[in-house]
Structure 1
């Protein structure tokens, strides 16, 4: 199936089926959607301009933009925030992270209220107090994707120095294009998964929610 430059014409039944379509096709489709979305490109350009170490745009701002393209909705429909992550192990202070947050928001004033910027090197310092369970120290930004509540959440994009798009999706992109929320049982995120699933189903009724297996706990 040839991919059209009009993202709303992408066939999610085809792209969401890993037996019928290839990951290369999904990556090409994702790149087309990202490059056609001005807010996403502004964020990626800012990450590159500010030289955030190991900086990426991740999760909902990416896959929900794809869902909107697939279903013909406005590009920012249902997107609560845009998650920007980076990794700076040389400064684990709150003040250091806050300075980066302020720099990003200053660089993107029109999107500032919807940006969430976090240093992945210090997540383990506050995670247990907020969520009631420990979180391991990470070695890089992309390691964090393996702990997301859903495999569908685990997608990251950034601009390389040559302007090419760098895409990282440790569980692949078929769930994103198939509009399936698939649980990630590598970390006990059942409650987060259920809460996010209910919220997303309300925004995208087409979404398939794969149940969290009780035996996986």
Structure 2
């Protein structure tokens, strides 16, 4: 199967009942500016493009939202516990993007998609949610070319400082994606 664009990505997500069930559950939370992101989408794309018959396990399902009123980390943990009560076999990870800029020492984010744009890799800077009419919406602030072409590159924000470059390089070595998906090409910043 080929994936050429965002429409193809939306189609493979819509056709995946497991993914859709998680997206529907997350929508019921009614969190502001809420998305499932990162490896949830990237891994699906790479699995399809590698013709894997079995889904590659991912360490967590990243749920993000943007609430500048209640930025207490304990609220994220409550949401995680609630999701685990609904689907206990899913490794939920919930993060409010209104406070996550602090982790990377960046200026405050203005939305969840702004937070996604500051993820370390362009191939992982992806989000998905359902709109009011239950249409699948894909956020890809850096486009989908890199993920479709199996290219792991830093987002522009991770090219801005040596500290962020080190985070990116350490992360891609630890993730070792090219050992799972053989077509993946990882670009290191620091030689």
TM-score interval (norm. to shorter): 0.7 to 0.9
Q: CA deviation at 1:195?
A: 3.4
Q: 1:53-111: CA deviations, max 9, x gaps? A: 11101111101111001111145314222111011111111222222222222222231
Q: How do residues 124-203 of structure 1 correspond to structure 2 at under 5 angstroms? A: 124-125=101-102, 127=103, 134-187=105-158, 188=161, 189-198=164-173, 199-203=176-180
Name the larger-Rg structure.
1
How far residue 213 of structure 1 moved from its aligned partner, in angstroms, is: 6.2
Q: How many residues align?
A: 185
Q: Are residues 1:83 and 2:54 paired?
A: no
RMSD: 2.0
Cα gap change, 1:119/1:153 in structure 2, threshold over 3 Å: closer, same or farther?
A: same
Inter-CA distance 205–193: structure 2 relative to 1 (3 Å threshold): farther
Contact 2:169 2:190 in 1 (8 A): no
Paired with 1:81 and 1:196, the residues of 2 have a C-alpha distance of 15
Matches within 5 A, 1:1-217: 9-10=1-2, 15=4, 26-74=5-53, 76-111=55-90, 114-125=91-102, 127=103, 134-187=105-158, 188=161, 189-198=164-173, 199-212=176-189
Which stretches in structure 1 are left out of the alignment for 5+ residues?
Answer: 1-8, 16-25, 128-132
How far does residue 157 in structure 1 lie from its aligned partner after superposition? 0.7
Q: Which stretches of structure 1, 4 residues or more, deviate above 3 A after TM superposition?
A: none
Residue aligned with 1:167, SS: strand
Determine which structure has the larger helix proportion and give its number. Answer: 1
In terms of mean alpha carbon deviation, does 157-166 or 73-82 score higher? 73-82
* 3-state SS of paired residue (2:183): coil
Q: Is the 8 A contact 1:57 1:156 kept in 2?
A: yes
- Distance in 2 (CA, whole Å) between partners of 1:80 and 1:203 is 14
